[in-house]
Amino acid sequence: MDINLMNLKVAWYLGIRYWWAKKSDGFTSFVVFFSVTGIILGMISLILVSSIMNGLEGQQKARILGMTAHVRLIPHIPLAFADIDPKLQALEAWPQVKTAQPVFEHPVLIQSATQLRGVNLQGVVTERRVDPYVSAQLVAGQMTVLQPRSYQVILGVRLAQYLQVDVGDEVRIISSEGAMYSLFGTMPLQKKFTVGGLLYSGSISDELFAMTHYHDAVRLGGTSDQWVKQIRLYLYDAFDAQRVAQQIQQQFPDQYQIQLWSETFGHQFDAVKMEKRMMSLMLILIIMVAIFNIVSALVMMVHSKTRDMAILKTQGMTASTVRLIFLIQGLLSAVMGLSVGTGLGWWITTYFGRLLQWLPVAVLPPGVQLPIDIHGEQILGFVVGTLVITLCAIWYPATRAAQVYPAEVLRHA
């Protein structure tokens, strides 16, 4: 493009002048107004919806992945409990691994005075570092109550509500695997446990969560506590699980059966990502409609200013400068819509919870708040993408304006 500094100044001057002066054309002004308004509303909706979806995704990640082992290692040959520490320390030396824990897990029935519920009882070694997310979700009691032979159990809040028990109450836990022999035949192993704490994560885990000390869980299962049959890995980033699994297979070939969290919960995250993409696509289409309204207004402006462009070209203005004049006009409409839309969208999203409280009708149940997570780089991507699409859309009408032949236009003027 053969544009020098002087031509650039002229292009900016005429582009801004035409963009502002076109308000005198009623129909063109109408089209431009609604195109800018469309971009504003589209950006507000895009920022708000994407931030809510980000918050839901982050909340789901924290609640589900915080309560779930990211990688489960099941040794083909049980490991001696006395020799487990060096193996755990070797795993924790990896930069992706937050903590490694020996775990005993088996299905049990928990019986209170009034109710009965089947869950998977988890036995953990509290002398080792327990995942801090679990400790942070305790609403009553502490992890330190889980000691060998203490027969204390921590329950999920919803499970405790279903069983109608609280901290200090006793429940009977009946093993589905362990058995003892008596004069009356084989009977399942059972033991009274004291509720030592309650945990609330806000996920479905609250209905099924039951945790006790490793040795107490093993005894209830009727097996020896001298062997470790499962190791759980908690990672700093759960989405590194596949990479960690590959490292384990390379460093410990044929020693473990490996299970990843994605095998159980991966479909839930895929569903959220799909919903997020579909919502963003629909809102981007709204912006696309507004952009093509800008194109329509620009086409009308090109048609009305054909004679002006012919005169300017006879005065020596280049085709590149003429094209730039109309590109500036179209981009000014997009920039106006993006600036106002981004500012309003950011403000509305930030205070969306308070704005909902002003509505005369309750939108959310009492005590429920929408999780909102604004990603600045995501919004920047929306803005840059909109500008690029706008530039591509207005390039053709601006180029047609640059291709006018002064002699032909002025002959018919």
For the record, the structure tokens of 144 come out as: 């330190």
Q: Residue 341 has what pLDDT?
A: 92
Cα–Cα distances in angstroms (integers) from residue 365 to residues 54, 122, 289, 353, 362, in the given order: 21, 33, 35, 12, 7
Q: Residue 357 has what pLDDT?
A: 76
Which residue ranges in the chain fall short of pLDDT 50? 1
| Side-chain-side CA neighbours of residue 94 (13 Å) | 23
β-bridge pairing 185-199 and 170-182:
antiparallel
102 φ, ψ (degrees, to nearest 5):
-75, 135
Dist. CA 106–CA 189, nearest whole Å: 13
192 φ, ψ (degrees, to nearest 5):
-85, 130
β-bridge pairing 152-156 and 209-213:
antiparallel
Cβ–Cβ under 8 Å, residues 233 and 91: yes
Cβ–Cβ under 8 Å, residues 155 and 148: no
According to DSSP, the residues that pair with 188 across neighbouring strands are 179
Locate the domains of the chain by residue range: 5-62+269-360+368-412, 69-260
For the record, the structure tokens of 261 come out as: 């969290």
**353 dihedral zone (left: phi>0; alpha: psi -120 to 50; beta):** alpha
Question: Closest Cα to residue 256, out of 67, 71, 83?
Answer: 71
Cα dihedral angle (235, 240, 243, 247), rounded to 10 degrees?
A: -10
Q: Residue 404 has what pLDDT?
A: 74
Q: What one-character DSSP code corresponds to residue 305?
A: T
According to DSSP, the residues that pair with 232 across neighbouring strands are 72, 101
Identify the residue whose tokens are 């800008």.
Answer: 294
Question: Closest Cα to residue 293, out of 26, 21, 39?
Answer: 39
Dist. CA 24–CA 17, nearest whole Å: 12
186 φ, ψ (degrees, to nearest 5):
-80, 130
For the record, the structure tokens of 143 come out as: 């992890």
175 φ, ψ (degrees, to nearest 5):
-80, 140
Long-range interactions of 200-205: CB distance < 8 A, separation 24+? 200/137, 200/139, 200/156, 200/157, 201/63, 201/66, 201/67, 201/137, 201/156, 202/59, 202/63, 203/63, 203/64, 203/67, 205/63, 205/64, 205/67, 205/68, 205/156
Cβ–Cβ under 8 Å, residues 296 and 31: yes
Largest CA distance in the chain: 117
